[in-house]
Amino acid sequence: MRLLKGIKPGDGEIRVDVNLGKCRLEGNKWVVPGNMVSKGSKGQDFIHSSGMAVLKERRPAPPVISGSVFMETVPYSLSIDEAYASILFHGKELQSITSVNGYSEKGIDITTRLSPVPEKWFKNYPGSTWTMDPMMLDAAFQAAILWSHEKNGRACLPSYIAGLRLYSSFNDLQGDVRVIFRVTEETGSKITGYFTFLNEAGMVVAAVTGFEAVTDPTLAQKFKKKPLFSRDRILAFAQGKPSDAFGEKYRIFDHDKEIARLPRPPYFFMDRVLAADHPPWEMQPGGWIESQYDIPPNAWYINAHRSDALPFCILLEIALQPCGWLAAYAGSALKSKDRLHFRNLGGKAELMASLSGTSGTLTVRTRLKEVSNAGGMIIQEFDFKVLRGSELVYQGTTNFGFFTQKPWPIKSASGIPNSMNMNLPGRIWIMNFKMMRPWHPMTRTRTKIRACPQRRFG
């Protein structure tokens, strides 16, 4: 079977006809040619796929599975929920993969659920059961996309299969199916391999041989979903009306009440929220969001750094700003009648790789790990991961606090210990930073920050 052209119904409907040719006998089997065709807007025919069906009196017995099918694997870098949110384009009804059992440079191992009964998807389906379970086959192609993304950071689309064979064990198929994809060859633009489908008893129920898929960096853009929150909506939380960012419940913060906000540009580092697995307005642990930031060409902070390296302070903002957004999405500011101040309290993190001005789009996964609400204070703990493509570059945990009064009035802060004088017996020096406007990217010279000893205890 060869796939020639995708079907794009858009907002309307497309009629697709399945055409079958004359059945002819070849040896001990019957062969039927066929194709799938639709009409264009000007009446022209589009052939979407063509293939050959082979019919026999009975299905063959399942083969004894070869040890070469199995492989040594490591855990996949994403959970399946994260994969559907950020890599795969499939809607809820086709999100059939329940787990990624393991990944290898030679292939991938997944588990999938089966399709619902045909009447759930088709009107007037000629039968009560599937001849070939479509969900099982589509899950195999989804697994190939996951493998390609993990291996090369690129998506892939199927273009050809030499053969699909169903075995007698397929007759009573039920429960989940394990799908093992083995890659036999990989070039710059093509992947070849084969799939083995196993039932819960470990018997082979089907096999796909001669699988081919095309890979292309531009497919990632085509796979991108419409973001859950656009840059404009996130920016409204930084400098516009909070109700434009989060809806009617935040209208009180448009005029009547203050709210802690994200930094405004040029210190604003969130471009979109792709997915949110957290109920809005519910300040409870466990939920997560996935957001992205696109490092722009000739970014001001790269030019100011006089190096192509991404300054660490910018990476820190990229990693932490989604925590503030998730705290707002969870309705934290609605938990008190008083004005709440928001502060980062600390955290631990690990940097795995350096980033530069050409690193492109960074994906941030943020999870609200713990919540404590007592005595007018709200303490929230988050964990986060920053990825460049599928590569994990920075991860850690951090905690933030909401306070009804400013916890550390900046103008009267006692400052930071002066480590240069810490070894002097009987003396501890405290430094106080002079308050001045921060350096702005449009300013030609940096503002100097001066430190002076404020008081000493001896």
Over residues 201-214, the pLDDT tens digits come to 999 999 999 999 99
- What integer is the mean pLDDT of 408-416? 46
What's the N-to-C CA distance of the chain in angstroms?
85
Greater model confidence, 225 or 382? 382
Q: Where are the alpha helices (DSSP H) in 240-382?
A: 242-246, 252-255, 300-305, 312-329
What distances in angstroms separate CA 407 from CA 122, 342, 376, 401, one per listed residue? 61, 9, 12, 9
pLDDT at 37 over 50: yes
Q: Decide: 135 and 115 in contact? Cβ < 8 Å.
A: yes
DSSP state of 296: -
- Give this prediction's pTM: 0.58
Mean pLDDT along residues 226-254: 93
pLDDT category at 406 given cuts 50, 70, 90 is: low
Distance CA 156, CA 147 (A): 9
Of all residues in the chain, the percent with pLDDT exceeding 90 is: 56
pLDDT for 285 equals 93
- How deeply is 358 buried, as exposed, middle or buried, from its count of CB atoms within 10 A (0-12, 13-18, 19+)? exposed
pLDDT for position 133: 93
pLDDT over threshold 60, residue 428:
no
Q: Alpha-carbon distance 239 to 208, whole Å?
A: 54
**In the chain, where does the domain assigned CATH 3.10.129.120 lie?**
61-223
Q: Which pair of structure tokens corresponds to residue 244?
A: 């434009």
In terms of Cα–Cα distance, which of 388, 290, 399, 299 is closest to 349?
399
In this predicted structure, the answer to whether residue 242 has a pLDDT above a threshold of 90 is yes
Is residue 266 reached through a cis peptide bond, with omega within 30 degrees of 0 on the bond before it?
A: yes
**Residues 375-389 pLDDT 10s:** 889 999 999 999 987
> What is the CATH architecture assignment of 1-57?
Roll (2.30)
Residue 439 has pLDDT above 70, yes or no: no
The C-alpha atoms of residue 261 and residue 242 are separated, in whole angstroms, by 9
pLDDT higher than threshold 90 for residue 143: yes
Q: CA separation (Å) from 267 to 125, 238, 301? A: 57, 10, 10
> H or E segment at 247?
none
What is the predicted pLDDT for the residue at 11?
Answer: 63
DSSP secondary-structure letter at 168? G
Q: Check: CATH 3.10.129.10 for 231-405?
A: yes
In the chain, CATH 2.30.18 sits at 1-57
Q: Which residues contact 343 (CB under 8 A, 6 or more apart)?
A: 400, 401, 403, 407, 408
Residue given tokens 């993969």 in the structure block: 97
* Averaged confidence pLDDT in the chain: 85
Reply yes or no on domain 61-223 having CATH 3.10.129.120. Answer: yes
pLDDT-based confidence at 103, cuts 50/70/90?
very high
Please report the beta strands in 145-241, taking only residues with DSSP state E, as ranges in sequence order.
Answer: 156-160, 163-166, 177-186, 190-198, 204-215
Please give the pLDDT value at position 161: 95
Residue 223: per-residue pLDDT: 64
**Which segments of the chain belong to CATH 3.10.129.10?**
231-405
Position 451 pLDDT exceeds 80: no
